[in-house]
Amino acid sequence: MPPAPAPKHPRVKKFTVAGCELCEAAPVGVLWQDSFCRVVAVGDADYPGTCRVILDRHAGEMTDLTPAERSRLMKVVFATESALRVVARPDKINLASLGNAVPHLHWHVIPRYFDDRHFPRSIWAQPVRSPRRHRAPDRRALARKLKALLGDA
Amino acid sequence: MPPAPAPKHPRVKKFTVAGCELCEAAPVGVLWQDSFCRVVAVGDADYPGTCRVILDRHAGEMTDLTPAERSRLMKVVFATESALRVVARPDKINLASLGNAVPHLHWHVIPRYFDDRHFPRSIWAQPVRSPRRHRAPDRRALARKLKALLGDA
């Protein structure tokens, strides 16, 4: 019997790409999720409270989504911003969708403080000081706030 | 006659803050604008084609806007992304709303190339190479594409 033909492309199931860190990520730190995206708490000691909003399927750019999907994803990003403003009381919020290393749509929602390691620079810049560590916001409080803003998944 | 009372706050007109770089910016490099926001071409030699979408009035965070205003601003951000993808043909788009130095809502829409000065890092990180300079996209082509996507202001 001849060997099975090699797969034509590396997709292991619809919209999922083998080897993509976010397609294959274990569900750790999930604060809220539905069938479209998830909000994950990132355990960054310098940036307590930082969340990522991760699209479930593999897509690289916001304009690869339909306008309705873009709105749906941004609604979750802005709910995450709202929850962080209430629970973590930061001095500023930073929002970014970069995806250079992992081109699978994900939004960074980052609480910033005037005395954090990089302020007023971006968190990806050279640090400007030793950070005064802020207490990590309570993940259960963030999850409750997201549920209140977005409903049950 | 007693002196006029000092103003209670530094606002010089409704929603405009004296001393804010973006409230007071001259209208340079404008590709598209309406009464709500403007798209401006940033003349960055390392990052040709980089645009900023700047809210007209002074507000610091996306969640300071109403949901309808957030959608309106994001529609312009995504139209800018679309225009840059067509005209500048980048390898990736980066979107960011930071505002740490200038807390007046503005979005960075940045075409990225695999061989640019920082890829795959953010443009705010330490550079990883001498850049291969990409040709700046034609501003008139960007303006035409924005007008096609967003209509006349």
CB A78 within 8 A of CB A69: no
The mean pLDDT value of chain B amounts to: 90
**ipTM of the modeled complex:** 0.90
Q: A100: nearest CA in chain B?
A: B120
Residues 6 or more apart whose Cβ sits within 8 Å of residue B133: B45, B46, B48
CA distance B143 to chain A (A): 18
Q: How far is residue A123 from each of residues A24, B65, B126, B129, measured CA to CA in Å? A: 26, 24, 12, 20
All residues of chain B having their beta carbon less than 8 Å from the beta carbon of residue A122 are: 96, 98, 100, 122, 124
pLDDT tens digits in sequence order for chain A, 153 residues long: 555 544 444 444 457 888 899 998 888 899 999 999 999 999 888 899 999 999 999 999 999 999 999 999 999 999 999 999 999 999 999 999 999 999 999 999 999 999 999 999 999 999 999 877 788 999 999 999 999 999 986
Between B46 and A37, name the one with better pLDDT.
A37
All residues of chain B having their beta carbon less than 8 Å from the beta carbon of residue A93 are: 61-63
B43's tokens = 């003349």
A43's tokens = 């355990």
Find the CB nearest A62 among B61, B95, B112: B95
A118/A112 Cα distance (integer angstroms): 9
CA distance A1 to chain B (A): 43
User: What's the whole-model pTM score?
Assistant: 0.90
Q: Which amino acid is at B4?
A: A
A58/A23 Cα distance (integer angstroms): 7
